[in-house]
Amino acid sequence: MSTTVYQEIADYLVAGEEEKREVKKVTAELKKDLTVEEGYQVQEKIVSRKLAEGRKIVGPKMGLTSKAKMDQMNVDEPIYGYVFDYMVIDNGGKVSLSDLIHPKVEAEIAFIIDEDIEGPGITGAQVLAKTKSVIPALEIIDSRYENFDFTLPDVVADNASTSRVVFGTSPKCPSDFELDVVGATLAINGEIKELGAGAAVLGHPANAIAMLANMLARKGEKIRKGDVILSGALTGAVLLEEGDTVLGKFDGLGDVSFIVTE
Amino acid sequence: MATEVAMKQKKYAESLLEAENTLVGIPPLTEADPELTVEEAYYIQLENIKKKTADGQTIIGKKIGLTSKAMQNLLGVDEPDYGHLLDSMVIENGGLVPKDKVLLPKVEGEIAFVLKKDLKGPNVTTLDVLQATDYILPSIEVVDSRVKDWKIKLPDTIADNASSAFYALGGKPVKVEDVDMELLGMVLTKNGQLVNTGVGAAALGNPAQCVAWLANRLADFDISLNAGEVILSGALSAAVEAKEGDTFTAKFAHLGEVSVHF
């Protein structure tokens, strides 16, 4: 398939993002036989377009890292996308609904990488050895597709639904924690809506980063020093509404919060 | 009339005890007696506990059930329930659950409290519980229902000693001052595979709050919680069915691990 088709799909999805409107999933009309590999080709076009517009990559993010989501999508490997600088909201800051389509929030642990990590064959333990620090995060996902209805190739093409992220402000040394049993709660307006522990992410959040290194290696790419990587959701996703105060609490890692405005 | 009720409760208690001894589940009590109340059900439970203690068994403590929103919704109730822990229900950490003593067992990971002071309701607060706690431990509770196929309504499970069967304590004793119980994470594995994760907040927002509820509810029956008693404070994640040959391990942040075999 010619790369123009990938570019067209990429532009179609970026238009949805920029115009804050839902679009039909790619596999519904535009390209019914889109494969996962092609989904990543589309994603690369989106990334290139944003880089060309002067946006900067903060780091990759992992998606579909929970057993529940993998079963739901009938896959045995997570997916990845990229977080850009314009997506980062300050801790305690505002997320404006008018900038987004139908955002949901999830609690995650982010890894700040100290040295390049190049697959294949990378394991979670090796990732921890090359992790400078971990910070709690609230990721706001916002699929550009109607009703969050998509197939695996669709969500890959859509930059893994990446939309906004709020990072905590107090990085911690990963060796001070057992990240698989770090508990997190996600509360909206004081009421706990979702909770989970680190093991919800592929058994251990570092395993997700290891898989990322191994997936990138297939394309001759690697995790880079300085990348800030979202490792996947510890909790279920909660739909955001105007006026919500969102608070993620992470055992020993601290709190992350934001408010939702019009 | 009073005697009639007492006779009825005795009869129900006997049928539950027989089901336990013969491993033949009975139809739900509420099927034949839709009017059976929660209070009556607790007296049925007490009837069998008295019988067992008269036979030489010892009360070790209590267990709290239905502490999660999911379970409360499932049974259409808005408060937890409780049962008694007897010495015959103790399994050593890593020990075997006797297959000739369970029907359809399920496994849950919980935080166990060991008390150093008596607690008598009403008006016991969460802070009272924390001050009366000697230490906490990780535990696995094996729940089972003497009601055929778990077809329980609230009075059925209460009469059946809150569906308790066995429990194991493990890990290491930890003081409540050293942890944030609300965010204390847990991962449950079956035969080495991740089953689910949980966090202390899954139990009514905080496990210590469950113990306070228990102390206050027991006041209705003029029962107090005593120094030295073990209190299983409620499941941190959904109950998982166990089959012969299964090994379950619950790993808790800060507290260590506990496991049982079937």
A180 touches chain B (CB under 8 A): yes
Q: What ipTM did this prediction achieve?
A: 0.90
- A255/B contact by beta carbon, under 8 A: no
- Selection from A168, A154, A163 nearest residue A252 by Cα: A168
Q: What is the pLDDT of residue A76?
A: 84
Is B197 an 8 Å CB contact of chain A? yes
Q: Which residues in chain A are closer than 8 Å to B186, comparing Cβ atoms?
A: 181, 183, 197
The nearest alpha carbon in chain B to A180 belongs to: B187
Considering CB atoms only, which of B197, B199, B252 is closest to A185? B199
Q: Does B171 touch chain A (CB under 8 A)?
A: no
Q: What amino acid is encoded at B110 in this protein?
A: E
- Torsions phi, psi for B132 (to 5 deg): -90, 0
Chain A contact present for B187, CB below 8 A? yes
**Nearest chain A Cα distance for residue B194, angstroms:** 7
Q: Under DSSP, is residue A107 helix (H, G, I), strand (E, B) or coil?
A: strand
pLDDT 10s digits, A192-224: 999 999 999 999 999 999 999 999 999 999 999
What B217-222 contacts at long range (C-beta under 8 Å, 24+ apart), as own/partner pairs, is B217/B79, B217/B82, B217/B121, B218/B62, B218/B82, B218/B120, B218/B121, B219/B120, B219/B121, B219/B122, B221/B42, B221/B46
| Average pLDDT, rounded, for chain A | 96
Identity of the residue in B182, B194, B202 whose CB atom sits nearest the CB atom of A199? B194
Query: Length of chain A, please?
Result: 262
Contact B194 A196 (CB under 8 A): no
Nearest to A195 among B180, B201, B253 (CB): B201
Specify whether the backbone of B5 is left (phi greater than 0), alpha (psi in -120 to 50) or beta: alpha
Q: For residue B252, which residues of chain A lie inside 8 Å, CB to CB?
A: 181
Angstroms from B18 CA to nearest CA on chain A: 39
- What are the beta bridge partners of residue B258? B250
- A window 24-83, beta carbon within 8 A of B: 67
**Contact flag B183-A183 (C-beta cutoff 8 Å):** yes
* Percentages of chain A per state (helix, strand, coil), in multiples of 5: 35, 35, 35
- Provide the token pair at A169: 């402000």
Nearest-Cα distance to chain B for A205, in Å, is 13
Q: In the predicted model, is pLDDT for residue A154 greater than 80?
A: yes
Cβ separation B197–A185 shorter than 8 A: no
Reported confidence tier of residue A1, pLDDT bands at 50, 70, 90: low
Please indicate whether, in this complex, the C-beta atoms of A234 and B184 are within 8 angstroms of each other: no
User: pLDDT tens digit string along A114-132?
Assistant: 999 999 999 999 999 999 9
pTM, to two decimals = 0.93
Is residue B91 within 8 angstroms of chain A, CB to CB? no
Is A181 in contact with B252 (Cβ distance < 8 A)? yes
- pLDDT tens column, A2-29: 789 999 999 999 999 999 999 999 999 8
Please list every residue in chain A whose beta carbon sits closer than 8 Å to the beta carbon of residue B205.
192
Residue A29 class from Cβ within 10 Å (0-12 exposed, 13-18 middle, 19+ buried)?
exposed
Q: What is the pLDDT of residues A48-83, one digit of tens each?
A: 999 999 999 999 999 999 988 888 888 888 999 999
B-chain residues near A108 (CB < 8 A): none
Quote the CA–CA distance of B125 and B127 in Å, as a whole number: 5
Output DSSP code: residue A22: -
C-alpha gyration radius of chain B? 17
Per-residue pLDDT at A252 exceeds 70 = yes
DSSP labels, A135-174:
EEEEEEE--SBGGG---HHHHHHTGGGEEEEEE-S--B-G
List chain B residues with CB under 8 Å of A203.
187, 194
* Whole-number Å distance between alpha carbons of A200 and B187: 8
- Which of A192, A198, A203 shows the shortest C-beta gap to B185? A198
Q: What was the pLDDT predicted at B1?
A: 55
Nearest to A164 by CA among A260, A242, A46: A260
* Interface contact A250, partner B, CB < 8 A: yes
**Closest Cα in chain B, distance from residue A84 (Å):** 30
Cβ contacts (< 8 Å) between B171 and chain A: which residues? none
- Long-range contacts at B192-196 (CB < 8 A, ≥ 24 apart): B192/B247, B194/A67, B194/A199, B194/A203, B195/B237, B195/B240, B195/B248, B196/B237, B196/B238, B196/B240
For each of the domains in chain A, give its residue range(s) and CATH number, in order of start: 3-261 (3.90.850.10)
Nearest-angstrom CA–CA distance, B196 and A66? 10
* Nearest residue in chain B measured CA to CA from A253: B183
- Tell if the CB–CB gap between B253 and A185 is shorter than 8 Å: no
pLDDT of residue B233: 98
**Could you say which residues of chain B have pLDDT below 50?**
none
pLDDT at A70: 87
* The predicted structure's pLDDT at residue A3: 83
What b/e readout covers B77-91, taking b as 16+ CB neighbours within 10 angstroms? eeebbbbbbbeebeb
Q: Can you give the pLDDT at residue B163?
A: 97
Q: Which residues of chain A neighbour B184 with C-beta distances below 8 Å? A: 183, 251
| Domains in chain B with CATH codes | 2-261 (3.90.850.10)
**Interchain proximity A183–B185, CB inside 8 Å:** yes
- Among candidates B185, B187, B198 on the partner chain, residue whose Cβ is nearest the Cβ of A251: B185
Q: Which residue has the tokens 């105060």?
A: A245
